[in-house]
Amino acid sequence: MEHVAFDYNEPTSQRWKEIMAEKLKTASTFEIHCWTEEAEEISTALPFGTFKESTWKYGKIIEGKVTPEFTSFLLGLPKPTDTEIYNKMTPFFTIALDNGFWSEHYGTELNDI
C-alpha cells in the first residue's frame, strides 16, 4: 500500500481500522497531530502520550508508545459524525507511526513511506 483515499462512498471506518490495525503491529511509537481548537480530541489522546515540542503554531502534537491499550483505544473509536468537510474515519487530523505510515486529513488519506 502506498496511498489510499477514502471519499464519501466509504460509509464506515471499518476499512480504515483494518489497515490501521496492520500498521500498528509493526510500529513502536506514534504522533497524533490536532488543531489547537480540537480540545476534546487532544484530551482524548493525551492519556496515551505527552506533548511534543513543536514549531507548529496552529496545533498540538502528542507522541507516545504504541501499546496494546493505545491500539485498543484507536481501533475502538467510533466513526466521527461531523463529516461535512471530510468523510472522517478518525477524530484526529494526523496519526503518524514510526514505521513510515501516515493517516492524514482525519483518516481520509493513508500513506506509506
Q: 91-107, pLDDT tens digit by residue? A: 999 999 999 999 999 99
- The pLDDT tens digits for 4-43 are 888 888 889 999 999 999 999 999 999 999 999 999 999 9
Structural domain spans, the chain: 12-107
- Model pLDDT, residue 1: 61
Euclidean distance between CA atoms 98 and 30, whole angstroms: 6
Instruction: Report the relative pairing of strands 3-5 and 109-112 from DSSP bridges.
Output: antiparallel
- The pLDDT tens digits for 80-91 are 999 888 899 999
Beta bridge partners of 61: 33
What pTM was computed for the model? 0.95
